[in-house]
Structure 1
Amino acid sequence: MKTLRLIFFVILSLSAGQLYAQNRTQEFGFQSDNDSFLAQGSDRYYTNGLFVFYRRGMDFKNPKLANKVLGIEIGQKLYNAQSGSVPNASYVDRPFAGYLYAGANINYLFRNESNFKVSLQAGVVGPSAKGEPVQKLIHSTFGFYTLNGWQYQVRNNAQINLSVEYNKLLVRKEWFDLTASVYGNAGTGFNGVGAGPLLRFGNFNQLFNSVSTQSTATRNSIAPLHKKEVFLHYKPTFNYVGYDATVQGSIFSKEEDKSSLEITSMPKRTVLSNQVGLTYGGPRWIFDATATFNTKEVKTQVFNTHQWGSVTIVYRFSGHKAIM
């Protein structure tokens, strides 16, 4: 009997080790945003973004949790007027601005398929964000037009921004589910709130182990609904904008503090955003392509809508060797 118990224990230990080894506890990836991805022939407003990130599944003791993920990210966003080349200041209908930051986040994902994510970013809006040289490099590399207008960009202002996000599954069928999503931003540069539903169609996993909630780095042993995620997603969001430093400049500055060339404006307080995309999540690789369509974001904008595409690629890996 002792021998049988020993054999059973060894088999159980090996099985548990193999199961744990199948988990991808870490991932590294990047996301690129650009309005040219949609082949619409425009180069305006939110025109380019690049983000590099690392995520790691964390240990946890709370029995209500199914996953806990730590994330680290650096990113840059570039904003133009109605074009990246304007004849003079009167054509600057949306301020030129760059936003460069580094940040960290912690994502708590619960067994009841809700999650709470907290993010903190520190960075700068203005010339130190290097928006002009990066856009010049892009345009010279691909043979685009010569830029003019960055001399009017928002001046330097330091950024400390906090963001919180909450998602909760409402309905799930075999090929469809519906999640409620809300967020809030507060800080020296970005203040606002938003809410809307997330709809997924296809093969998707639970919210505690899904591309949808950036929770595919995991240490849990809960079986996913599918070995691979392949689904369409649609997310309309109602946004209320309290403050936007890329539009209004420093939250601490007064009108008399502005430089002679700096052009700022006022944001639209309410913005409707629609995101639609296709996601693949496999054992090693994640790919996502999303298109975002926004209503007018700045009161002085000539165009009432703006859209851009996003491409995300993630590589998943384990932090230890598999037990064989």
Structure 2
Amino acid sequence: MLKPAIVSFLLFSCFAFVQAQDKAAVYTKEFTLITENDNYNFTKQDRYYSNGLFLRYQWLAKNTSSSRLATKLHRVEAGQMIYNPHLNRRSLEQVLERQDRPYAGWLYTSYGQTNVFNDERVLLFDGAVGIVGPGAKGKEVQTNYHKIIGLYKLYGWENQVQNELGVNASVRYYQPLIAATKNFSLHATGKATLGNTFTNASAGVLLKLGWLEDEQYTAYWTGRLGQNKQQQRHQTEFIFFLEPTLMAQAYNATVQGGLFREEKGNYTSELNPLIYIVKTGIMLSNRQTSFSAFYHIKQREAKTMIDPFEVYGAFAFSIRFR
């Protein structure tokens, strides 16, 4: 169903990757497009976390403000996430009869920083403001997209969660477990989000294998910004990564409705308090461009969800500027 779009995206990304020819420049800015969709696992299903689209702009800080910091980056991001129940086609009656999680959209903008320390520790934090509910335009985006590419008619968006403005803060910390080499890196991870849209905490590990740059210069942390040709280990960095985590959930407005709303929507669900998430994929990068392909396996967020887990893929393309 979406195979032509995927192939086109891959070909475009590979073309841009090969065409990057400026070897002497030092780049300080980066623009990234990220697309996530459950159809990228080639199941032709449209359920649970159905689609995400994100635009991200990052730039290198003029000074690190600390002798312990190797790299400091700023970023701004805008994105939309769309959530569906197990069934969203056939007829309104059938969809509502089998609804196992709410319809929801989350539209936001955020600011964040990435700090890579000299001892290979990494700290990222973000603050986001947005809206969950009809104001996020999930219904309009999904239904119009289906019309444009000739997919099936959608039913059930009448049962999406109600509008609520959201304010959320998150932090991610990566602690090296062993000294990184040219081909191997291992970090313990800790993450936490606090807000009226999402509140959760998770822990796990991050394994990276391949032809790796130094931690401060790896494309995994957008470290190619500020790197000159003499500082690179490889003309092309190749990363295979695996990040399994265990998450404790306290609140999720896309499942439970707005935290501060009395009327949350026609249908809401109870959260699973503890879930696992596995993220894996590859990344290719030279000093001007990066291409990534990710795969996510996530245990069901809501107790009412029919499938025991949700699977979705992601692609990302980055280009850097002086």
Which category of TM-score, normalised to the shorter sequence, fits these structures? 0.7 to 0.9
SS of 1:209's partner is coil
CA contact (8 A) 1:67 1:220 kept: no
The aligned residue for residue 7 of structure 1 is none
* Counterpart in the other structure of 2:36: 33
1:73 aligns with 2:73: no
Task: Confirm or deny: 8 A CA contact 1:32 1:51 kept in the other structure.
Answer: yes
C-alpha distance in structure 2 between counterparts of 1:181 and 1:23, whole Å: 30
Please, what is the CA RMSD of the aligned residues?
1.8
Instruction: Report the counterpart of residue 105 of structure 2 in structure 1.
Output: 98
- Structure 1 residues 74-105: Cα deviation after superposition (integer angstroms, max 9, x where no partner): 00000000023252423210110000001110
User: Which residue does 1:116 correspond to in 2?
Assistant: 123
Q: What amino acid is the match of 2:252?
A: D
Match of 1:273 in 2: 277
After TM superposition, give the deviation of residue 214 of structure 1 in Å: 3.4
Task: Output the TM-score relative to the length of structure 2.
Answer: 0.87
Please state how far the C-alpha of 1:305 moved relative to its aligned partner: 1.1
Distance (Å, rounded) in 2 between the aligned partners of 1:89 and 1:247: 16
Deviation for aligned residue 1:275: 1.2
Q: Which runs of 5+ in 1 are unaligned?
A: 1-19, 319-324
Shift of 1:222: 8.4
| Structure 1 match to 2:135 | 128
- 1-side partners of 2:299 and 2:173: how far apart? 24
How far apart in 2 are the matches of 1:73 and 1:58? 17
Give the equivalent residue in structure 2 for 1:47: 50
Corresponding residue of 1:6: none
What is the CA distance between 1:21 and its match in structure 2?
6.5
Number of residue-to-residue matches in the alignment: 295
Q: Deviations over 1:177-218 (max 9, x none)?
A: 211111100011110101111111111122322222233333
CA contact (8 A) 2:256 2:264 kept: no
Instruction: Answer yes or no: is the 8 Å Cα contact 1:66–1:220 preserved in 2.
Output: no
| 1:253 CA drift (Å) | 2.3
2:214 aligned partner, one-letter code = Q
Identity, in percent, stands at: 30
Task: Provide Cα deviations, 1:159-180, integer angstroms capped at 9, x if missing partner.
Answer: 0000001112222344222111
Moved more, 149-158 or 270-279: 270-279
In structure 2, distance between residues paired with 1:170 and 1:24: 30
Q: Provide the rounded CA distance (Å) in 1 between the counterparts of 2:182 and 2:264.
A: 56
Q: Secondary structure at the match of 1:212?
A: helix
Contact in 2 for aligned 1:28/1:53 (Cα 8 Å):
yes
Within 2, Cα distance between the matches of 1:222 and 1:74? Answer: 34
Q: TM-score scaled by structure 1?
A: 0.87
**Counterpart pick for 2:294 among 290, 295, 305:** 290
Pairwise mapping of residues 190-269 of structure 1 onto structure 2 (< 5 A)?
190-218=198-226, 223-254=231-262, 257-259=263-265, 262-269=266-273
* Alignment match, 2:68: 64
Counterpart code for 1:264: T
Note the C-alpha offset of 1:115: 1.5
Partner AA of 2:191 in structure 1: Y
Please say which of residues 124-133 and 208-217 is displaced more in the overlay. Answer: 208-217
2:163 aligned with 1:177, yes or no? no
Query: Does the Cα contact within 8 Å between 1:114 and 1:168 map onto a contact in 2?
Result: yes
Q: Per the alignment, do residues 46 and 137 of structure 1 end up closer, same or farther by CA in structure 2, a change over 3 Å counting?
A: same
Instruction: Determine the C-alpha separation between the residues in 1 that align with 2:273 and 2:241.
Output: 26
- In 1, Cα distance between the equivalents of 2:264 and 2:238? 49
| Structure of higher CA gyration radius | 1
Q: How far apart in 2 are the matches of 1:137 and 1:75? A: 18
- Superposed, 1:302-317 pairs within 5 Å as 302-317=306-321
What is the CA distance between 1:148 and its match in structure 2? 0.3
Counterpart AA for 2:108: Y
Unaligned runs of 5+ in 2: 1-22
Contact preservation (8 Å) 1:279, 1:289: yes
SS of corresponding position for 2:220? helix
Question: 1:118, 1:276 → 2: CA distance?
Answer: 22
Against the structure 1 CA distance between its residues 283 and 174, is the aligned structure 2 distance closer, same or farther, given a 3 Å change threshold? closer
* Matches of 1:193 and 1:247, distance apart in 2: 17
What's the offset of the Cα at 1:258? Answer: 4.1
CA distance in structure 2 between the partners assigned to 1:210 and 1:238 by the alignment: 25
